[in-house]
Amino acid sequence: MNTDLPIYLTPGLGADYRVFTGLKDQGLQFKVLEFVDPDPKEPLVEYALRLAQQIDTSKPFVLGGMSLGGMMATEIAKVHPPEKLFLISSVPTSGEIPFYLRASRYIPVHRLFKGTHIKKYFPRSKPKDEQILALLRAQREDADPFFLEWAIRAVLNWRNREIPPEMVRIHGTRDILFPGVLCGPRIKISKGKHVMVLVQAEEVYQLIAEELKMVHQNFIS
């Protein structure tokens, strides 16, 4: 799908531009915000605003993110409001992070694990499609251990309560990492898991495309 507005997408933890392969195959045109090296104690909000330097904020744009990328997109949208903000398998506020993860703020067991351990043991999806499975494995192998360590600390210390306007949440009904019961209003994808942006790319794309049509109509009217 071609739109006059540039679209910027941010991948999730342990992922990169390849996580949006399905959306690209469906015809969505976008630019991926590439992760940069974080400072060891850099808060998520400051890191997100550094990523925003890859966006041409001098003209209207659309922003989105998957999982960790959705959190970063939320922080960017608070400073550089997009025409539409898409959160895929993500949460816009820290209060929607599951309690068992938030507990690590006070009992920091995650500090016992190095990035290499996170790559090996972090919850992983096992889709039936061999091509998608291979793509997920390749991303995991290529993930930077230091970035993984930093990102988990940054998420656990994230304290956002503000929901930006023009936000559209697309969430799977079988997302284990961010269970729907803890989430606010959202568009549900039946049987969708955390990596549904790949596994059910066509459904995700159709929802995005419908929203973009409305954005385009409002923008030219």
Per residue in 167-214, pLDDT (tens digit) is 999 999 999 889 887 788 899 999 999 999 999 999 999 999 999 998
Structure pTM? 0.89
How many CB atoms are closer than 10 A to CB 3? Answer: 17
N residues, the chain: 221
Q: Which of 145, 160, 156 is nearest to 107 (CA)?
A: 156
- What average pLDDT does the chain have? 88
pLDDT the model gives residue 112: 46
Q: How far from chain centre, in Å, is Cα 78?
A: 16
Helices (H), the chain: 21-26, 44-51, 68-79, 99-102, 115-121, 130-142, 145-156, 196-199, 201-220
Six-digit token string for 17: 């531009």
Rg (the chain; Cα; Å): 16
Amino acid at 131: Q
The parts of the chain modelled with pLDDT lower than 70 are 1-3, 102-125, 218-221
pLDDT the model gives residue 221: 52
pLDDT the model gives residue 121: 52
Helices (H), 53-193: 68-79, 99-102, 115-121, 130-142, 145-156
